[in-house]
Amino acid sequence: KKKIHYLFTDGKEMAEEYDLKTDELISRKWRQKSTLGVQGVWQVEVGEPLNLPAGLDCDVIKENCSNPVFMRKDTKSSFQWRIRNLPYPKDVFSVSVEPSERCIVIKTTNKKYMCSKPMAFS
């Protein structure tokens, strides 16, 4: 992996990781200082989300860790959306694109799960 760390004049930071063999972007994450100057938490834009230990997260209510996780992966030739933790076999799901709504819709044939993910480009 090749890691590149950017510091911007407005106080934001961006960190990117690239695969050395394919030059593909593996992850991109951002953070910025709070109004009091404390470093914020990393917000993952591309790649696998950060898995913090339960004690470090100050939220009282949080989503179930077995819920599906959506992530974006950019390659030289395409934008990809990946989903982890699907609770059912692949043949239960159907995927469609709604250009007028600018979203990707994922449904199950057993009506147990439905999700809509906005697309990041036009």
**What are the CA-CA distances from residue 62 to residues 53, 54, 66 (Å)?**
13, 10, 12
Question: Per-residue pLDDT tens for 87-102?
Answer: 778 888 888 888 888 8
pLDDT value of position 121:
44
The whole-model pTM stands at 0.50
Position 4 confidence tier, pLDDT thresholds 50, 70, 90: very high
111: tokens are 């009506």
122 pLDDT higher than 50: no
Sheet of strand 25-31, all strands in order from the earlier edge strand to the far edge = 2-7, 13-18, 25-31, 43-46
